[in-house]
Chains A and B, each alone.
Chain A
Amino acid sequence: MIFDEFDPKEDKIFRLIDNEGQVLNASLMPDLDDEIIVKAYKEMLFARVADEMAVSYQRQGRMYTYPPNMGQEAIAVAAGLVIRHEDWLVPVFRELGTWLAKGVSLKEIFLYYMGNEAGSNFKNAHHVLPFSIPIASQVQHAVGIGYSIKLKKIDEVAFTFVGDGGTSEGDFSEALNFAGVWQVPVVFTIQNNQYAISVPVRSQTKSINLAIKSYAFGIPGIKVDGNDFFAMFLAYKEALEYARAGNGSVLIEALTYRKGSHTTSDDPTKYRDKGEETEWAKADPIIRLKKYMDHKGIWKEDETALIEQYRTEVDKQFEEAEHFTPYQLEDVFQHTYVDMPDDLRRQKLEYEQFLTWKENRK
């Protein structure tokens, strides 16, 4: 298991290709067909295009606050390739590629960020929880799901994500502690994208890295180059197998860089310098995988045309979301309870009577 070879205590980083797409460790390279690699690249590209367009829609005032995923596509797409239909995804909001792989539609994601909860009903995606906004609170849900899986003795695994900032929250530690004690099948990923809004990871922790936190809870941990698709893929593959075999949970720190802002509401130029951005740009996961494919000669498509096609697709889904049935009063009340209390019915009725009065007044 690569987890044994890359000890977080020694601050080793598991990496398989360099920034130029050159293979660093051929013996560990995952055995992936060229088609899969091309597919992964396309998914990363699609996520990037969708993300850039989402930011632009937000700037046009057609969508509310949006958290960009740019730069973190290798993590999401690698997880998306490994995660199976029956596995659970307990996300935050920076795993676009994984949601898409699980069957969540872009339309739903857009709908959510347009302020409509209907976007959180991932009815075509199997075992995907809605986005969780309170930081790190979702990782505990994955642990509970893990307990269900273990109790029912079924072949499923829960994948959950948290940011580097989230590791400072008590919920993160509590969840990992429970996961360790209960020995449940959960794959934890810390997306260490270097910043929690404006606070750099060095102001977030005194630990030499975030993967080392696994030591405290008695589970394996590994620090992976999160911009290296192959390294992420192998880490996830081994994590899935480890969890499925009944060994319990693992913690993956995926070292990456958030290219955009935290959300469309903040301004990274205030807390990041250009030099850092330029340095990290060299490690961009999409460029690296493209360079790898070029070396191997397995990329044969017209990328410009492909991007154009993606843009059309994204636009189509965005417009579908824009034209979604307008929010109804019913939507406010319907799902607060499974079994709606009479008083809620009455509150709704009173408001309807007010609306009728207002209508007749015109």
Chain B
Amino acid sequence: MTLVQAINNALDIKLAEDESVVVYGEDVGVEGGVFRVTEGLQKKHGVERVFDSPLAESAIVGAALGMAVSGLRPIVELQFDGFTYPAFNQIVSHVARIHNRSRGLFKAPMVIRFPYGGGINALEHHSESPEALYAHIPGLKVVIPSTPHDAKGLMISAIESDDPVIFMEPKRIYRAIKQEVAEGKFTIPIGKAKVLNEGTDVTVVAFGAMIRECQKAMVMTKEAGISMELIDLRTIYPIDKETIINSVKKTGKIVIVAEAPISFSVGSELVAIVNEEAFLHLEAPPKRVMGFDTIVPLAKGESFYIISPERIFYEIERTVNF
């Protein structure tokens, strides 16, 4: 399965299993979404539960909150990362807060899913990585899968979560990776990172599409005789501090790879965590390999912005040799 098929499969399973689940957003019905993530679901589950909404991100999310408090489990698609901002008020002011505001009387069991990140030569506002924006908001959970298997298991967990989940899909690897994914239902817990490769010289933390780039860089580190531990964060919030700290205690070095602008980012948070919890184990300054604090360039300039395996290897080697 591809990542697209895995998410589709997760939605299909939950739609079949739980009649309170509804899937909607612009284009998700007939067309199956701009990336075809919801393809075929309307035909199978009907126009009342899988449907096209008018184009208005704030109302897509605002209405979903109304559905969630009244007993449904809406899964909404916002078409691109840069299009989530019109819905920001609803997400921050209501989705993230209704449980707290009502002192537990109302919950918002809903999933806001959208493709994110660069590397597909897209238009402006189609290549952004706003995970830190959402991870910073108390009340939200933020999930980013990097493989089809994880995408399925995490999506099922997200739908079953009684807390609202921002589910960011790395569009660049939507179809780039194929993997055997178990049929039927399984879940992957939200809030748990995964050690993809054990190593002793350096801890590399990444998520989403950057995992694949880190794996390519790992081929180079192997050749260079560097033993690299690769961790896939999988959930941005709640962040799995334990796995990161344990790894850094072992390796003494950390390199963080992510596409978003470097300042005030997930990378910043990880450096802070490592400094607070494993400071005396550090043998080199933590390094963030991340996007510039610039607007993501359009296609012709994207190659400067996008993080390549070479750049990852370059920074890993410098950190290891510090």
Q: What residues of chain A lie closer than 8 Å to B241, measured between beta carbons?
A: 343
> Which one of A118, A152, A337 lies within 8 Å of B99 (CB-CB)?
A337
Q: Are B102 and A121 in contact (CB under 8 A)?
A: yes
Kindly identify which residue among A134, A143, A335 contacts B66, using a CB–CB cutoff of 8 Å. A143
A275 adjacent to chain B (CB < 8 Å): no
A170-178, A281-289, A309-317 - interface stretch: A170-178
Determine which of B62, B74, B141 lies in contact with A140 in the assembled complex, contact meaning CB atoms within 8 Å.
Answer: B62
Give B134 Cβ to nearest chain A Cβ, in Å: 14
Complex Cα–Cα for A137 and B87 (A): 10
B71-90 with Cβ < 8 A to chain A: 71-72, 74, 86, 89-90
Known contacts A137-B94, A178-B53; is A171 also within 8 Å of B67 by CB?
A: no
B99–A151 CB distance below 8 A: no
Judge whether B285 is part of the interface by a CB distance below 8 angstroms: no
Contacts of B86 in A (CB 8 A): 170
Number of interface residues of B (CB under 8 A): 47
Shortest A143–chain B CB gap in Å is: 5
Residue contact B62 to A141, C-beta cutoff 8 Å: yes
Checking A123, A130, A152, A178 against B59 with a beta-carbon cut-off of 8 angstroms, the contacting residue is A178
Residue B100 CB within 8 A of the other chain: yes
A148 touches B70 (CB 8 A): yes
Q: A338 in the interface, Cβ–Cβ < 8 Å?
A: yes
**A337 close to B163 (CB less than 8 A):** yes
Task: Provide the bound-state CA to CA distance between A145 and B89, in Å.
Answer: 19
**Which residues does chain B contribute within 8 Å of A64, judged by CB atoms?**
none
CA distance A14 to B90 in the complex (A): 34
Choice from B22, B107, B239 contacting A343 with Cβ under 8 Å: B239
Cβ contact of B56, chosen from A138, A177, A335, cutoff 8 A = A177
Q: Do A137 and B72 form a contact, CB below 8 Å, given A151-B22, A338-B107, A343-B238?
A: no
Which has the most chain A C-beta neighbours within 10 Å: B62, B66, B86, B163? B66
A122-172 contacts to B, CB under 8 A, are 122-123, 127, 129-130, 132-134, 137-149, 151-152, 158, 170-171
A residues near B54, Cβ cutoff 8 Å: 174, 177-178, 181
Task: Return the chain A residue nearest B238 by Cβ.
Answer: A341
Q: Compute how far the CA of A341 lies from the CA of B190 in the bound complex, rounded to whole angstroms.
A: 10
Contact B93 A134 (CB under 8 A): yes
Q: Of A121, A122, A143, which one neighbours B62 at CB under 8 angstroms? A: A143
A359 in the interface (beta carbon within 8 A): no
The answer to whether residues A338 and B90 also contact, given A129-B106, A143-B63, A146-B66 and a CB cut-off of 8 A, is: no
| Inter-subunit contact B63/A120 (CB<8 Å) | no
In the complex, the answer to whether A122 meets B59 with C-beta atoms within 8 Å is: no
Cβ of B273 to closest chain A Cβ, rounded Å: 10
In the bound assembly, the distance between CA atoms of A137 and B56 in angstroms comes to 13
Q: Establish whether residues B104 and A144, one from each chain, have CB atoms under 8 Å apart when the complex forms.
A: no
A77 to chain B, nearest CB (A): 25
Q: Which residues of B contact A134 (CB under 8 A)?
A: 89, 93-94
Q: B106 near A171 (CB under 8 angstroms)?
A: no
Cα–Cα distance between A51 and B72 once the two chains are bound (Å): 36
**Chain A nearest Cβ from B229, distance in angstroms:** 22
Assuming the contacts A122-B105, A343-B241, asked whether A174 and B59 have C-beta atoms less than 8 A apart, the reply is yes
Whether the pair B94, A121 counts as a contact (CB closer than 8 A) is no
Smallest CB–CB gap between A58 and chain B, Å? 21
**Interface residue A342 (Cβ < 8 Å from any Cβ of B):** yes
A353 part of interface (Cβ distance < 8 Å)? no
Which chain B residues border A33 with CB–CB below 8 Å?
none
CB interface residues, A 319-355, toward B, < 8 Å: 334-339, 341-343
CB of A7 within 8 Å of the partner chain = no
Chain B contacts of A337 at CB under 8 A?
99, 139, 141, 163
Determine how close the nearest CB of chain B comes to the CB of A71; give it in whole angstroms: 27
The answer to whether the Cβ of A88 comes within 8 Å of any Cβ in the partner chain is yes
15 additional A-B pairs beyond A140-B65, A175-B63, beta carbons within 8 Å, are: A123-B105, A129-B69, A130-B101, A134-B89, A134-B94, A144-B69, A148-B72, A151-B72, A152-B71, A177-B59, A178-B54, A337-B139, A338-B162, A343-B238, A343-B241
Query: B residues engaging A (CB < 8 A)?
Result: 22, 48-49, 53-54, 56, 58-59, 61-72, 74, 86, 89-90, 93-94, 98-107, 138-139, 141, 161-163, 191, 237-239, 241
Q: What are 29 A-B residue pairs whose CB atoms fall within 8 Å in the complex?
A: A117-B100, A117-B103, A122-B105, A123-B105, A132-B94, A134-B94, A140-B59, A140-B63, A141-B94, A143-B63, A144-B65, A144-B67, A144-B69, A145-B66, A145-B69, A147-B63, A147-B72, A148-B70, A148-B72, A151-B49, A171-B90, A178-B53, A178-B63, A337-B139, A337-B163, A338-B104, A338-B162, A341-B191, A343-B238
